[in-house]
Each structure stands twice: as structure tokens, then as C-alpha cells.
Amino acid sequence: MCSIFGIFGLHPRDDRQALRRQALELSQRQRHRGPDWSGVYVDEGAILVHERLAIVDPAGGSQPLRSADGELALAVNGEIYNHRELKKELEQPYSFQTGSDCEVINALYREDAPTSFLNRINGIFAFALWDKRRQRALIARDPIGVCPLYWGHDREGRLCVASEMKALSGLCADVAQFPPGHCYDSATRELTQYYRRPWRDYAAVEGVDVDERELREAFERAVRRQLMTDVPYGVLLSGGLDSSLVAAVAARFARKRVEDDGASEAWWPRLHSFAIGLRGSPDLAAAAVAAGALGTVHHGFEYTFEEGLDALPEVIRHIETYDVTTIRASTPMYLLARRIKAMGVKMVLSGEGSDEIFGGYLYFHKAPNAREFHEELIRKLDALYSYDCLRANKSMMAWGVEARVPFLDVEFLDVAMRMDARHKMAGKGRIEKAVLREAFEGYLPKEILWRQKEQFSDGVGYGWIDGLKAYAEARVSDRELAAAERRFSINPPRTKEAYHYRSLFEQFYPGQACAETVPGGKSIACSSPAAIAWDASFAAAADPSGRAVTGVHNAAL
């Protein structure tokens, strides 16, 4: 994974050398995402800058990726897992210039309409493609928004795009998140939603059963696809259900190389797993149990509260949000990423997305019926790009480590989301995500397979959240909190902890547009209209910790 930066719609009077220097300087703000190499493309209509993290074809594959005739220039942040299948399906010959999985986008663009070829891709991506002959820009983001992307216009009205907001802050007064599952075509000046699925409507899934074997095999294929790599990799293992399932499946395929369909031994056949927490944390203990059962080379790291507190300003600068839950969970993940990078690992698999697919958050116990349960799943999936996907991607990429998320594989999504939500419902003695646990009986120790949901920020140690609250209580006065709405007109903070995070965010990202890139600035569980409708007590829940879901949370096993 990498970073991209682009300026489109250059004017004839523009000083291209000056703009090139400016583009390079702005792109440097996100070079942590791509420390391996930098590439620049300039012509009369566009400038593209790419900062590369080499995962596939590290010796080649530098970007921007050019077509043989020089007409196409492509800057991509992402991975195209089905690139080999897509190459075989091409109807027109295309002369590939590299071994990069992403170059297939140029070939697809040549022979198909954007809304058609984007739906054929199984991968995570944010890209800017420039067609020199047509003076046309095509910008697109993956269906769920695993890869970040921002856009806006500079003072001269030129369109600018970047992987992270920090590259556009100060340049674009209208900076905003580019929506997932959409593409923008400068030829028509239209933003089009290309990703639509029938399962978004409950009527399309009502009464549909999905066999446990079908669910399990779809997830196994997703994990195997995402082991595509030419560099050392590992798995994040918190000891919770989701990360443990990812690790368990990855361990089954780790010995064979994915890129040649298992014909040869993998370059790094021993699977390494990584966990972090305060001393005595539930996650560290559970991760050790899971790793022991799976036979991974396990690395459990401890951090102190002071180390986490020291990192907070940099965490907020990197993840570009003031959302309380996201910051709490991003800080230990950021510290873990630094440890992982120090060991020479450049890619990890992670468990994000499972809770949004199967209703893993504890408040789903309160759902009154399958229709409302399913509709809340859709809302959660639609919001992932601002929360868990943002956290996993930016926390890891702060240190040049790529996070991949098999639960959000588009083929697996189509299997898991066409299941009637009545099979996913919790309550009345049935634990959350029971349908997923039942599908993987025998893959994990029972104490891991049936461990109750812990939010990551809880699982690293309850002292982490409690300490953050106490620190903010001492740092932010009652008067400051009472005046929060006057200081912060967009999403005013409701707690002292939220106020502290918002103040740090404002130091790095001032202005209304930057503030508006964060939807709500509080837990999506507690801010959910559905959750409040299911249980009125959620309306007053300013604390998004999983422990705040009264009557549901139990101590971790």
C-alpha cells in the first residue's frame, strides 16, 4: 500500500515546475505510507506523485504506472487480489510494463466502462488515472473504503486528490473524504456510485439461508487471496474471535506461495502473530492462548499508559480524526505498528469488518427483529471508512505497514450479507456472531472461539480507557467543556476526553472543512438512531466503551 497525490485541470498559464515542486512537498507529508520510492508524472494537464510501499514486485512496479504508448498514467494505493484472473479475461492485448498487480487497472480502463470494470475488481484501492490523449481523469475508491482518499480544489479551481487529508489541508478549503464505492470522471464531471448490491435491501435476503460450509469456504478463499505478497508478513492477533479466525485460516495456507497457486514453498512459511496491551491485559492473555493453539511465532508486546499518552498527538495527526473510540483503539495499534516495522514485516492481516457483517457489537443484543438488525448492519458497513477502516489503515501505515482485511473481501461480503439476519441475531442465550463461531468449530480453542466481544480499546487493558478519562478530567476544565459549542460549532464534544482530542485535532487540521470530515466525533454505536430506538439508555451514553452497554458486557474469558 502506498500514497497518491494528484493535481488535475492545469491551466496553460500555470508554472508546471513550481506546481511540481509544490506537489512533491505536499506528497512528502504522507511519505510514511510509502517510504520505499517516490515517482512523479507531469504533463500539460496533470501532475501525479506516488510514494511507494513495495509489497508485490518490489524490484519493479514503481509508479505512476505508464502504458507502453505513454498515454496512461496511474497512481494507485492498494492491492488487486484477482489481478491474474482479470489479465486472463482481457479481450484486447495489453503490453504490461511491470509485475505490479495494480497495472491491470490501465488495461481494464482501455477496454471497459469505469462502472463496469470497477465491479470486476476484488481488492482494496484508491487510484487516480490520467488519460493524456483525452485529458481525462478517473478517480475511484474501493467499495468499503479500506484505502483512504481525500479530494478538494485549490484556489485556482484545480482538482486535487490525496491519500491523506494532511496533504490537502491548507491547500483545499473544501477538502472532503472521497466516498467509497464511487468513481469520478472529469470528462463528465460526474461522481457515480458504481458499487451496489441487492443485499442492502432486507427484502432481498429475507428467508435466505447460507450453509456453514459455504460461509467457511468463502472466508478461507478471502484469506488465501490476501496472502498475495513478496515481502515478510504477519497477522494481528488480539485473541478475540475475528483476529483469531484470520490467523487460523492464514496458518493453513502460509506454507505455500499464493502467486503460483501453491506450486512452490512460500518465501516466509512461518506465520508470525502480533499483539499488544497493558501488562495483564485480556488481549495479551487470550492472544497467547490462540497463538499456542495455532503454532504461530507469537510476539506479545506490552506498553505503558505513559507511552500511550505520549503518542496521542502523533496518533491524531496520523489518523486525522477526533472520534473517541477511534483514538482510543488507534493508539495501541500505532505503537504495535512501530514494533512490527522494526521486525522487518511490511504487511499484516487484520480482523476488521466482522462486527459490521455479523452484528458483533454488544448493543446488537437489543435489536428487536431481523429487519432492523440487517438495516443497522448496512449502516455500520457504510460508516466503516470513517472508523475501523480508517483506524486500521492509518495506524499501521503511520509506520509503513500495510493492513489487509479479509472479512471485507467483496466476494465474502456477497456470501455473508445475503444471509437472512435472523441467523445472526444475538440474545436469549445466544452469543453475538454465533453463526460465524459455529461455522468454524474446531479451528480454535473453545475459550477463544466463544470469547465474548471486547472492543479493542477495552481489550488492551481497562486501565487504558480509565486512565485517558482521568487525564482529560484533570486537563480540561468544567468551564471549557461548558463552552464547547462556542469553540467547536461542528460536532461539539460532550466529554472532557472528547474535548481534549478535538483540541489536538484542531492544532493539526484547523477549519470547518477538516472538522466536517469526521462524522459525529463520537462512537457510532452510541450515536446510532437504531441503537437509541432499541434501548433509550443509549441516548445518554457519551462513553462508547463496550463496558458501557449495560446488562450485556461480561468479563472477558
492 found inside a domain: no
Q: What is the DSSP string of 116-176?
A: HHGGG--EEEEEEEEETTTTEEEEEE-SS--S--EEEE-TT--EEEESSGGGTTTT-TT-E
pLDDT the model gives residue 457: 57
Q: How many CA atoms lie within 13 A of 190 on its CB side?
A: 7
Please give the Cα distance from 363 to 371 (Å, whole number).
15
pLDDT the model gives residue 525: 43
Please indicate, yes or no, whether residues 278 and 352 belong to a single structural domain of this protein.
yes
Please indicate, yes or no, whether residues 172 and 243 belong to a single structural domain of this protein.
no
Strands 182-185 and 190-193: antiparallel
Strands 272-277 and 297-302: parallel
- The H or E element spanning position 418 is none
Neighbours of 467 (CB within 10 A): 16
pLDDT the model gives residue 238: 93
Reading phi first (left if > 0) and then psi (alpha if -120 to 50, else beta), residue 257 is in beta
pLDDT the model gives residue 374: 98
Pick from 181, 196, 211: which residue ends a domain? Answer: 196
pTM, to two decimals: 0.94
pLDDT the model gives residue 455: 61
Which residues constitute the domain of residue 187?
A: 3-196
Please indicate, yes or no, whether residues 237 and 159 belong to a single structural domain of this protein.
no
Q: All 3 cell numbers of residue 116?
A: 463496469
Please indicate, yes or no, whether residues 349 and 210 belong to a single structural domain of this protein.
yes
CB 71 within 8 A of CB 94: no
The CATH number given to whatever domain includes residue 417 is 3.40.50.620
Please give the Cα distance from 390 to 283 (Å, whole number).
21
Please give the Cα distance from 520 to 386 (Å, whole number).
10
CB 212 within 8 A of CB 423: no
Pick from 158, 173, 196: which residue ends a domain? Answer: 196
**Residue numbers annotated as active site:** 2
The CATH number given to whatever domain includes residue 40 is 3.60.20.10
168 found inside a domain: yes
481 found inside a domain: no
Q: Grid cell 472532503 — which residue?
A: 176
Please indicate, yes or no, whether residues 137 and 253 belong to a single structural domain of this protein.
no
490 found inside a domain: no
68 found inside a domain: yes
Please indicate, yes or no, whether residues 155 and 206 belong to a single structural domain of this protein.
no
493 found inside a domain: no
Pick from 136, 165, 196: which residue ends a domain? Answer: 196
Q: Which of 502, 453, 446, 447 is nearest to 476 (CA)?
A: 502
Please indicate, yes or no, whether residues 337 and 189 belong to a single structural domain of this protein.
no
Q: What phi and psi values does residue 171 have, to the nearest 5 degrees?
A: -95, -40
Domain total of the chain: 2
Q: What is the DSSP string of 283-322?
A: HHHHHHHHHHHHT-EEEEEE--HHHHHHHHHHHHHHH---
CB 505 within 8 A of CB 314: no
pLDDT in tens, 435-486: 999 999 999 999 999 988 766 656 687 899 999 999 999 999 999 999 999 9
pLDDT in tens, 36-73: 999 999 999 999 999 999 888 887 778 999 999 999 99
513 found inside a domain: no
Neighbours of 46 (CB within 10 A): 26
CA distances from 492 to 177, 454, 487, 489, 503 (A): 20, 27, 8, 6, 11
Q: Grid cell 452469543 — which residue?
A: 431
For each successive 10 residues of the chain (557 residues), what is the average pLDDT?
Answer: 94 96 98 95 97 86 93 97 96 94 96 91 98 97 98 98 98 98 97 97 98 98 95 94 97 87 82 96 93 96 97 98 96 98 96 97 92 97 97 98 98 98 91 96 94 70 92 98 97 97 98 95 56 74 53 45
User: Is the four-CA dihedral 211, 200, 245, 453 of positive or negative sign?
Assistant: negative
Q: What is the DSSP string of 329-369?
A: HHHHHHHHHHHHHHTT--EEE--TTHHHHHT-SGGGGG--S
User: Is the four-CA dihedral 504, 509, 510, 513 of positive or negative sign?
Assistant: negative
Please indicate, yes or no, whether residues 245 and 354 belong to a single structural domain of this protein.
yes
480 found inside a domain: no
Please indicate, yes or no, whether residues 171 and 297 belong to a single structural domain of this protein.
no
Strands 233-236 and 347-349: parallel
Please indicate, yes or no, whether residues 273 and 326 belong to a single structural domain of this protein.
yes
Please indicate, yes or no, whether residues 220 and 84 belong to a single structural domain of this protein.
no
Please give the Cα distance from 12 to 265 (Å, whole number).
54
pLDDT the model gives residue 539: 62
Please indicate, yes or no, whether residues 339 and 204 belong to a single structural domain of this protein.
yes
